Amino acid sequence: MARKAREAAAREAVAKYAELPYGEVDAPMKKVRCELWSTTVDLKMALTKLVSEVTQRCATESVSAGLSTKACQILFAGQRYEMTVLSGTAVLEMTPVERATDLLMLINYGLTSERLAALLRRWSKRAAPMAMG
């Protein structure tokens, strides 16, 4: 139970960076370690590189699996960023703030190849079927 409460508090803490202008609060200006790229960068650079990485991995997966892709947006520091994901997947049912929060949480916990792969597996689950009627 305590772990879920900490997770919810952490998500709430990073979600505010979706709408606040960049640099208005401390954390967006902080340096973060990105093991995936063996570097330390500021949060904005980490997020923009991560959006590019997600787009590239989804494009590669779509080609190899014969799937289509769809553009979607995230919101960070009041700015919209576009990325491409697999069509018909759960990530497309999320809001731009929810997508950004997932990416920021990934950076917050340590951006590794394994954690990114786990996020992409979760995001790439089939979307819930639309109700007819």
Give residue 132's pLDDT. Answer: 53
Give residue 87's pLDDT. Answer: 95
Which are the contacts of 94, defined by CB distance < 8 A and separation ≥ 6? 102
pTM for the structure as a whole: 0.86
Which are the contacts of 118, defined by CB distance < 8 A and separation ≥ 6? none
What is the DSSP code string of 57-99? HHHHHHHHHT--EEEEEEEETTEEEEEEEETTBGGGGS-HHHH
Give residue 118's pLDDT. Answer: 96
- Does the CA dihedral 7-18-113-29 come out positive or negative? negative
Which are the contacts of 98, defined by CB distance < 8 A and separation ≥ 6? none
Q: How far is Cα 110 from Cα 47, in angstroms, rounded to an integer?
A: 12
Q: Where are the domains of the chain?
A: 2-120
**Residues present in the chain in total:** 133
Task: Give yes or no for a contact between 77 and 17, defined as CB atoms under 8 angstroms apart.
Answer: yes
Q: Which residues of the chain have pLDDT under 70?
A: 23-29, 130-133
CB count within 10 Å of CB 77 equals: 19
